[in-house]
Amino acid sequence: MPLHCNGVSLESAARRFGTPLYVYSADHIIGRLTLFERAFRAVPHQVCYAVKANSSLAILKLFADRGAGFDVVSGGELERVLAVDRKTAERVVFSGIGKTAPEMDLALRSGILLFNVESEGELELLSERAAKLRIRARIALRVNPDVFAETHPYISTGMREHKFGIDIRRARAVYRKAGKYLEAAGVSVHIGSQIRNAEPFGAAAQRVAKLIAELRRDGHAIRYMDLGGGLGIEYHADHAFDAEERVRQYAAALVPVAQSVGGVKLLLEPGRFLVAQAGALLTRVLYIKKNGEKNFVIVDAAMNDLLRPALYQAYHEIVPVTPRRAARKIVADVVGPVCESGDFFARDRELPPLRPGDLVAILDAGAYGMSLASNYNSRPRPAEILVTGRRARVIRRRETVNDLIAPEDL
């Protein structure tokens, strides 16, 4: 049977909207958010979706309409959230190590919930901007707990050698430097992404809890415990994965710590876990090529559309949208048209036989797919559609070459 997204045939979607095409399931996204709300209902909490995972306005609206907050790491991401609903600013946490003065001013004027401060220099600049605007800001220091999380080195962030955060041993001294327009309201931690074991999260939370107790003794009214995001999924089809159980284990590691601290609201910043498996990238086979003993399946999507395999050597399942009857499989590289040897989606992958014109789906592409897309080789970015039940609608039209050259001047 051909693949569907909810009640929509992917073959019909590709015929109607063209390829490459990102397809997202609204029902899946809402279901994942509901898992978090249920698992953490025993404690005051706020889910703040990590916008960097997928910043589509339509997806942000799904979260905003259901009371979620947002974790942003740039002024542009904050502008996107404000474009959806300015009232959601009160549920925004601003993270990131390189906030600029204009970005701080935008966040201050918007009335965001919390600044996650990552350096003493940032603290000084934020104090200056808040004093200039006469707006009091709530802050949390993002502390580095030196907790190892087994994940790709590019997305591990909790060790001393990483660029993120402030050494937890220096945190009390840094909190004392906050100016009169800065309110020390929370402590923040984020140890990395695509972490599939709850134990590192619990270890980091324990260290944050200890710091909160010390800060309260120092006279700071800490009431937010921001434990970041990073909960991982399984990209391999043969790896057992129960989303509900994984969230339950995550909550089991964090909720007792929050309860032991008392008087805090948990801030949680999932991104990938909410949207990755809700999305797929549809692409058509252009050519089948053989170089010696090596087989290549050349498709119309490329690394500019989905960078993760080239950037992280990330694995994505690749499946035909309309499977044929049982036939002998081939081993091939699935590659795109970009002029780079790194332009691939899979290396030496066992696949069913494919022919030019066949439609394939690159699965679990809802996170860090379109948000990392580029116009390399002057390739317009794909269209995006959102499926709700049996209805599919365009939430981002396909770019044209005219879109690419419009900002330029001869």
Annotated catalytic residues are 339
Q: How many CB atoms lie within 10 A of CB 397?
A: 10
Taking the C-alpha atoms of residue 200 and residue 193, their distance in angstroms, rounded to an integer, is 11
Strand (E) or helix (H) holding 120: helix 120-133
Taking the C-alpha atoms of residue 261 and residue 232, their distance in angstroms, rounded to an integer, is 26
Q: HSE on the CB side for 58, CA within 13 Å?
A: 16
CA angle (91 as vertex; 90, 94 as ends), nearest 5: 95
Taking the C-alpha atoms of residue 270 and residue 47, their distance in angstroms, rounded to an integer, is 7
| Cα-based distances in Å from 47 to 44, 327, 401 | 10, 46, 38
What lies within 8 Å, CB to CB, of 107 at 6+ separation is 75, 78, 92, 94, 115
Closest CA to 119 of 70, 163, 183, 153: 163
Structure tokens at 258: 């929050």
Beta strand ranges found along 59-100 (DSSP E): 69-72, 92-94
The DSSP bridge partners found for residue 138 are 183
Q: Pinpoint the alpha helices (H) of 176-301.
A: 199-217, 243-261, 272-275
Task: State whether residue 6 is helix, strand or coil.
Answer: coil
Percent helix, strand and coil across the chain, each to the nearest 5:
35, 25, 40
The answer to whether residues 190 and 158 touch, using CB atoms and an 8 Å cutoff, is yes
Closest CA to 316 of 355, 288, 281, 343: 281
Sign, CA dihedral 23-78-374-348, equals negative
The DSSP bridge partners found for residue 94 are 72, 115
